[in-house]
Amino acid sequence: MRSTSRALWVGLAVMLSLAAWSCSLLENKFNQCAVDSDCDAGQTCAVDPQNAKQHFCVLQTIPPGCFGLPDAGIPPAYGDLTNGTLHFGLTSNFTSATSGPNITKVRNFNAIQLALDQINAQQGTGNKTFVLHVCDTQGDLALLSKQVNWLINQWNVAAIIIPVSSQVTTAVTETTPAGVVVMSPTATSPAITTLGSQATDPQTGVRLVWRTVPSDELQGRVISDLLLGRTVVNFTPLPAKVGIVYTLNDPYGSGLFDVIQPRLAAAGVNVFGVEYEKGDAGSYANAVQLLAGFAPNASVVVAYPGDNAGIVNAAQMYPGLQVDAGHRWVFTDSAKDPSLYRAVSDPTQIANAVGTDPAPDSGPAYGLFQSGYESQPATLGVDPGIFAFTSYSFDAMYLLALGADYAVGTDGTGAFTGARVAEGLTRLSDAGTTQTKIPYLLGNSTDYAQARSDLQAGRTVYVAGASGPLGFNPLTGESLAPIEIWGVAGNSFVQKAVVQPPPF
């Protein structure tokens, strides 16, 4: 039986962990456990995010996925937990039930880290800094809901960064009633634009769902025009029959299908759509079999990282889906991931493939981002441009910080609520019609300080992020952006063109 003093010490450790998720006050003298079995029933062995060598037993109230992924460099919380008083959340599918860390999601997180480091270095909001609490959804929507509720109730977060379209549309059932902002750097489904009351604060009427990435309404239109010979990229011969393989019961897959199919059909192209279950090799093998029966000249794949290569590999047993038969693959944004060219068994099958994604910007703000990204210890020498959505992730963190700056005001005493953060976001607009303004560059410390000051003074602010100009529509929470057409070049991606989406 443990002594009374030992029991009191354990109790103190539990209270400290639940109150601040840190045992840094113990000055490196406490290492209670090594594995979960060292702890009492109902407790788990947790790593101190301030000191990875320290472990302590906490009550199992923290949902699975919110303990960090040390092997991928993902901590459970990022920022100074002892001084940070403004809390945000991040939920992402860093892993799945069948695979380890998704490198693109990790690189997106690295971009968010960079932004947070730059923001916290200034301590401009009443000398308060930000803390980001990080959870791995593992692609599980039920787990996502638990994590979102925990972030809201345990940490009183004003906003949560959520990347995936299906996760955004799931999370709003929890976040909107709580008045919490959702900011997405990668959720591209057109369904997010039309969330209506699901995305509106019930008290203030302000939009609570925002995204730095443009809607797939734009990407789908560019894919359609590419296949119809209406872009600068020469896609010949033009296909008379196009297959579309897309994710089942998923707003990302159905959203792009619903944009591409009617535009091609209206131009006389024979279109065949087939759905597959995300992450299910048997399901996309069946989908490819149906696709082969249709015998398309080109096939659009709206899939998730890992599935793209699996679909191409499954097609190898069908001669009509081979390059030699004249078949070509067209990919969407999620395929711009190293798993595409690393996992395809026959690289010649994607040598003439093309894909689309929201175009990375080439302006001065992107240059600042790229330089900072390649200088970080975690991403030293890594080009962020080879991964989709890194610049959009960087911008997402900066925009939430600006919204928070507006919310709490110059002295830091204003209400740090989702509605107030969202109100700040509505003040991020374009140059307007009455005067020409030079945009503030995200990633530039002087520009960020001035943008913060202008927002807190009630002015409209025009910012340019690493992803491009960020002039938001306050009713939809999104901005327009050009679309990149890319190809595969060995073990890398090459930009073929950047096009403006056709008019609506």
pLDDT digit of tens for each residue in the chain (504 aa)? 433 433 333 343 334 344 444 433 333 445 778 776 788 876 777 766 566 577 888 776 889 999 999 989 999 999 988 776 799 999 999 998 778 899 999 999 999 999 999 999 987 666 778 999 999 999 999 999 999 999 999 899 999 999 999 999 999 999 999 999 999 999 988 899 989 899 999 889 999 999 998 888 889 999 999 999 999 999 989 999 999 999 988 888 999 999 999 999 999 999 999 999 988 889 989 999 999 999 999 999 999 888 999 999 999 999 999 999 999 999 999 898 888 888 999 999 999 999 999 887 778 999 999 999 999 999 999 999 888 899 999 999 999 999 999 999 988 889 999 999 999 999 987 544 444 467 899 999 999 999 999 999 988 888 889 998 887 888 888 877 789 999 998 888 999 999 876 554
Task: Give the three-class secondary structure for 171.
Answer: helix
Check the CA dihedral 141-145-151-157 and report its sign. positive
Phi, psi at 384, each rounded to 5°: -65, -20
What value, to the nearest 5°, has the Cα angle with vertex 188 and ends 182 and 193?
65
Strands annotated E in 327-403: 328-331, 354-358
Instruction: For residue 369, give the amino acid letter.
Output: F
Looking at residue 488, its amino acid is V
Other beta carbons less than 10 A from residue 233's beta carbon: 17
**DSSP label of 472:** -
Letter string b/e over residues 120-157, b meaning 16 or more CB atoms within 10 A of that residue's CB = beeebbeebbbbbbbbbbbbbeebbbbbbebbbebeeb
What pLDDT does residue 117 have? 95
Edge-to-edge strand ranges of the sheet holding 468-469:
440-441, 463-465, 468-469
φ/ψ of 173, rounded to 5, equals -70, -20
pLDDT at position 120, please? 93
pTM over 0.75: yes
Instruction: Please state at what angle helix 103-120 crosses helix 445-456, rounded to 10 degrees.
Output: 70
**Inter-CA distances, 179 with 88, 99, 123, 202, Å:** 13, 34, 25, 8
In this structure, what token pair is assigned to residue 4? 């009374």
Given a contact cutoff of 8 angstroms between Cβ atoms, the answer to whether 230 and 258 are in contact is no
247 with 276: CB under 8 angstroms? yes
- Using the structure block, give the residue that is written with the tokens 């940490």: 155
Half-sphere exposure (Cβ direction) of 180: Cα atoms closer than 13 Å: 27
Measured at the CA of 11, the angle between CA 8 and CA 13, to 5 degrees, comes to: 115
CATH 3.40.50.2300: which residues of the chain? 63-213+389-471, 216-359+482-499
CATH architecture classification, 63-213+389-471: 3-Layer(aba) Sandwich (3.40)
Q: Please tell me the distance from the alpha carbon of residue 196 to that of residue 321, in angstroms, as a whole number.
A: 41
Instruction: Output the pLDDT for position 35.
Output: 73
Q: Which two tokens stand for residue 134?
A: 């990080």
Q: What is the pLDDT of residue 49?
A: 56
Number of other residues whose CB lies within 10 A of the CB of residue 170 = 19
Task: Specify the CATH superfamily of domain 216-359+482-499.
Answer: Response regulator (3.40.50.2300)
Dihedral over alpha carbons 245, 359, 477, 442 (to 10 degrees): 150
